[in-house]
């Protein structure tokens, strides 16, 4: 990634003598290995930060305008604090506005500001590029304003600011990963309690490949909204037998009996939620005992559940996972992201990578989409970089 400091100074014609400091922060992308389609606001995840980042630079303006520059896109946006609100046409700049709103609500002197954003996280494929912009902007602003806001409070306020700004409920998980991740670590994230458990990655002899299927994702929001509605109905029905219960209460032997009276489609969705929570807990035990064979089975079973019970996969994604599963040297492969296209991740030995790539020639011939591979490593979380 290019150095954002000189790009920012050139864009806003800041003095080269550095009399006007530029504060810079970066935040990583994120991958969920398990758990992302779970009980809303109460899920369990196996996640990690990846070594793709968003960087945000901020400096002072002499007027009250707020300017935004996306260096990778060559796009510019502007607003003022008085007019700070969500605008559909502002796209990426809306995520920086979330961080500005956060500090304005805390009473910090937010007036004229220059922002530059750039990064190498693939966009709109489920790798948390939007929350990375928010976190990087918040970290840069915290440094710029010399704000005494602990990271835990910053996380909580980011969630609240995002909800106010976009007008819909969001979960804390992506922010938790961004603030807590460390190099070569996996995280068990409990969304309900906001607790984290960290494990050293057991994949030192493997590569992590993210495969963008390039499948057009049409009508995804409506489909996902229907899944969430099904989950809520399922929980409402089973809660009549056990007041105040969550799906986590049913991750036990009484699962089938408890789900027996649900309408079939709702039962399948609910069954996925319960079993996926169980898989995350089983994966935690596998990590503790370094049982890679067990972890491999859990990953493949998770994809089967996403395909057959939650039904958010598609033929192209299923083909990619199936072909990966057939290759000697592949530990696991699974859909990641919202589904209906998007990405798979594959944990694979280096000796098997060439065979894996050969299979992709068949994918393009059969489905007509040219897939893109990103090799990633598990990375550290967000940080403030030296001022430019």
Kindly list the catalytic residues. Answer: 174
In the numeric block, which tokens belong to residue 166? 């976009």
Give the whole-angstrom CA distance, residue 229 versus residue 214. 28
Q: SS3 for 347?
A: strand
Task: Name the helix (H) or strand (E) containing 50.
Answer: strand 44-60
Give the whole-angstrom CA distance, residue 313 versus residue 102. 36
Q: Which residue intervals of the chain are DSSP H helices?
A: 4-12, 93-105, 129-145, 151-166, 173-180, 220-239, 255-259, 264-288, 292-308, 315-325, 353-367
CA 376 to chain centre: 14
CA dihedral of 362, 338, 119, 81, whole degrees rounded to 10: 150
In the chain the first and final C-alpha atoms are separated, in Å, by 16
Give the whole-angstrom CA distance, residue 206 versus residue 85. 44
In contact, 41 and 191? CB cutoff 8 Å: yes
Contacts of residue 388, defined as CB under 8 A and 6 or more positions apart, other chains included, come to 3, 4, 5, 6, 8, 9, 18, 21, 22, 24, 57
Give the whole-angstrom CA distance, residue 191 versus residue 304. 23
SS3 content of the chain, % helix, strand, coil (to 5): 45, 25, 35
Give the whole-angstrom CA distance, residue 230 versus residue 226. 6
Nearest Cα to Cα of residue 191 among 208, 214, 172, 166: 172
Contacts of residue 19, defined as CB under 8 A and 6 or more positions apart, other chains included, come to none
């Amino acid at each position: 990634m290019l150095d954002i400091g000189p790009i920012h100074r050139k864009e806003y014609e800041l003095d080269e003598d550095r009399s006007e400091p530029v504060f810079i922060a970066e935040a990583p992308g994120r991958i969920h290995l398990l758990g992302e389609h779970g009980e809303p606001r109460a899920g369990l995840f196996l996640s990690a930060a990846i070594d793709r980042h968003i960087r945000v630079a901020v400096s002072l303006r002499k007027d009250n305008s707020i300017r935004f520059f996306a260096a990778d896109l060559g796009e510019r946006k502007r607003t003022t604090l008085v007019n700070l609100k969500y605008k559909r046409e502002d796209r990426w700049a809306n995520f920086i506005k979330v961080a500005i709103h956060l500090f304005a609500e805390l009473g910090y002197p937010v007036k004229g500001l220059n922002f530059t954003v750039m990064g190498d996280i693939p966009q709109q494929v489920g790798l948390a590029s939007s929350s990375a912009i928010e976190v990087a902007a918040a970290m840069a602003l915290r440094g710029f304003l010399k704000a005494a806001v602990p990271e835990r409070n910053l996380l909580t306020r980011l969630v609240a600011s995002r909800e106010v700004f976009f007008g819909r409920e969001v979960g804390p998980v992506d922010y938790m990963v961004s603030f807590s991740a460390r190099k070569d670590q996996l995280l068990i994230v409990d969304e309900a309690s906001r607790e984290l458990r960290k494990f050293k990655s057991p994949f030192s002899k493997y590569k992590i490949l993210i495969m963008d299927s390039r499948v057009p994702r049409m009508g995804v929001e409506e489909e996902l909204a229907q899944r969430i509605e099904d989950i809520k109905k399922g929980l409402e029905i089973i809660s009549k037998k056990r007041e105040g219960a969550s799906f986590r209460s049913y991750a036990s032997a009484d699962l089938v009996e408890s789900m027996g009276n649900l309408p079939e489609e709702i039962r399948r969705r609910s069954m996925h939620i319960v079993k996926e929570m169980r898989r995350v807990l089983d994966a935690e035990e596998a990590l503790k005992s370094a049982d890679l064979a067990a972890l491999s089975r859990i990953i493949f079973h998770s994809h089967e559940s996403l395909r057959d019970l939650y039904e958010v996969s598609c033929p192209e994604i299923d083909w990619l996972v199936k072909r990966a599963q057939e290759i000697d040297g592949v530990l696991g492969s699974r859909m990641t992201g919202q589904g209906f296209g998007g990405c798979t991740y594959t944990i694979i030995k280096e000796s098997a990578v060439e065979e894996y790539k050969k299979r992709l020639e068949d994918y393009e011939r059969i489905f007509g989409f040219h897939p893109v591979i990103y090799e990633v490593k598990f990375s550290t979380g967000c940080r403030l970089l030296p001022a430019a």
